[in-house]
Amino acid sequence: SLNAFGLKPSAIIMGISRVKIDLNDPPELAYCSPGRGEDVYKKFHSIISSISETNQNKYGWSLLIDIHGFLARDSHLALQKDIILGTNNGSSMPIENGEKMTRRSFELLLSKKGWQLYPNGSKVEDIFPGGYIIRNHSDCRSKKFAIQLEISSKIRKISQKRQALANDLAEMIKIFSGK
């Protein structure tokens, strides 16, 4: 738990079907019918902006981890992995540049824990590169970083694996924070 390290993460968990409101789409594409869900959509994005601003002002940086899920299939190499990383090809978080917080540092830390990741190295994010949330709520110049993690159904369906991943992400955030 991050609380043990003196860190207090913020979490927003949405239980709304993407069929009704897709919070990871731009507003003009997000609602199933015009005007329905607009207040929820705006509130969701307003909360993310507020948390990001608070963290950036307090710590000098902010990290948004946008977690999604996918079904494990054999049709694409990425869909055989545990986690697919998306940074909109480096625009929401540098892929690799010598900084502490990069897509490559996520890869290295998670792969050391045994997670199978896609893409790795400097490969292009050709599947799930990241949606509207990370594009809209990141700015590398001001150290507002964002990464989209697509988690395989083979991880999400097993509570021990979900807990192990949560613990590994908490440890990684601790390392990034310098705590």
The ranges of the chain with pLDDT < 70 are: 1-8, 34-35, 72-78, 97-99, 121-122, 179
pLDDT tens-place string over residues 30-45: 887 766 788 889 999 9
Assessment of whether the complete model's pTM goes beyond 0.95 = no
What's the confidence (pLDDT) of residue 146?
92
Cα separation, 138 vs 143, whole angstroms:
8
Dihedral angle, C-alpha 166, 93, 56, 14, nearest 10 °:
-50
Can you say whether residue 67 is alpha, beta or left, with left for phi > 0 and alpha for psi between -120 and 50 degrees? beta
pLDDT at 139: 92
What pLDDT is attached to residue 118?
86
Say what percent of the chain tops pLDDT 90: 34
**To the nearest whole percent, how much of the chain has pLDDT over 70?**
87
Q: Which helix (H) or strand (E) holds 131?
A: none
Contact 143, 61 (CB under 8 A): yes
For residue 103, give every residue at least 6 positions away whose Cβ sits within 8 Å of its Cβ, in sequence order, or none: 85, 87, 90, 93, 94, 95, 96, 147
CA atoms within 13 A on the CB side of 27: 13
92: tokens are 């929401």
> Residue 65 forms beta bridges with which residues?
147
